[in-house]
Amino acid sequence: MSLRSKSAVALVLGLAIVALSIGERQLSASLAQQPVQAPHFEVDPFWPKPLPNGWVIGSVIGVGVDSRDHVYIVHRQASLNARTEIGAAQDPPTGECCAPAPPVLEFDPEGNLVRAWGGPGDGYTWPNSNHGIAIDHRDNVWIGGNGQGDSHILQFTRDGRFVKQHGTPGRPPNSNSREWFGRVAKISFDASANEAFVADGYGHKRVAVLDMSTGAIKRFWGAYGNVPSDSNLGPYNPDAPLAPQFRNPVHCAEPSNDGLVYVCDRPNNRIQVFQKSGEFVNEVRIAPRTLGDGAVWDIAFSRDADQRYLYIADGKNERVYVLDRKSLTVLTSFGGGGRQPGQFFAVHSIATDSRGNIFTTETYEGKRVQRFVFRGVRAVTRRDQGPPWPSR
């Protein structure tokens, strides 16, 4: 090859390298400018359908979804106002409307009431203040309680037949007990290990893991994987160093498909992430200047195989946050305070079905369940979307 030919080849190669470098920079800049993507939802104002028998529901403090996409809620009859809400249940009746629905209600995917049951019965002690409802991989229903003396968990079949009582009612708080629980907020499951993860909860300050067959407590831990303590940390202070223990209530403990456990440390406004063994991994603070009830009330995962997104119910600031689960980055949120569809009054619990739809419940004076229909993953146009009203 001549000197001139070699020079020409070198020039072409040099230009190609420059062009490739420019192209890579342009591609990087283009990717950096790509909008954030997140799941998009619309509220369904017609779900569920009206209840029969003049029934009304009180504070709804749990929601779960079974293998058929049937939705279960548990509510508190005692939260209904005798004078203004349940006149038909008084003696004598003060009006034609209304009466408390049974504590547990089951709806099909279309919002039809399928079954209603719950309350005191033979062989078990119904909680003084039922709290949380969870459906395991066999479609059994687990219920905790956060009232005084609620140191146990109940297990039923999906049609309400009593199966087993785990723990003993009436026990005092002891976050290191292997015999009983401490006013349980919620139960979640790892079917592959046959383990239940208990947010334990309003009396205790820990996550407890139990054998689903025997009810035996296998292990437990506090914040950062520490040995849990029942000491009173005092009120939450957003400017103080991060608390070395959970505050009450520990409100959720959700195992993911990739072997992690996400824990709602509600008054401390944080989610802590652990290995299933209890080894601390990571944490994120949500609305850290929130006082009182706290910001992290419940979580649910998106239903894709990777569980790419994490949904957080914030009953104090009245919204649902959408996070990238692995980075714990808030992508967007929806909701807002109010009583219209798509708004919230004390959004308490959250769950997803196999189609990716979200279900939320509201406590205090909220007293309802809502469905938010999954409309695919889209570019985020607003950090706070407000009420996700249907576009059609």
pLDDT computed for residue 27 by the predictor: 35
Average pLDDT over residues 71-81: 97
Instruction: Say if residue 245's pLDDT is above 60.
Output: yes
Provide DSSP, 301-331. E-SSTT--EEEEEETTTTEEEEEETTTTEEE
Instruction: Say if residue 35's pLDDT is above 90.
Output: no
Query: In which residue are the tokens 């959250």 written?
Result: 350
Phi, psi of 193 (to 5 degrees): -100, -5
Q: Can you give the length of the chain in residues?
A: 392
Type and span of the H or E element at 202: none
Instruction: Say if residue 302's pLDDT is above 60.
Output: yes
pLDDT computed for residue 391 by the predictor: 83
pLDDT computed for residue 33 by the predictor: 58
Tokens of 111: 């919002």
Instruction: Say if residue 140's pLDDT is above 90.
Output: yes
Instruction: Say if residue 270's pLDDT is above 80.
Output: yes
What are the beta bridge partners of residue 145? 130
Instruction: Say if residue 1's pLDDT is above 60.
Output: no
pTM (predicted TM-score):
0.90
> 170 with 154: CB under 8 angstroms?
no
Radius of gyration of the chain (CA): 25
Average pLDDT over residues 366-370: 98
Instruction: Say if residue 15's pLDDT is above 60.
Output: no
Instruction: Say if residue 12's pLDDT is above 90.
Output: no
How would residue 211 be classed by pLDDT, with cut points 50, 70 and 90?
Answer: very high
266 against 28, higher pLDDT: 266
Identity of the residue numbered 31: L
Q: Range with the lowest mean pLDDT among 27-36, 159-168, 298-307, 314-323? A: 27-36
387 against 33, higher pLDDT: 387
Tokens of 250: 């520990």
Please count the CA atoms within 13 angstroms of the CA of 302 that sit on its side-chain side.
22
What are the beta bridge partners of residue 298? 313
pLDDT computed for residue 97 by the predictor: 95
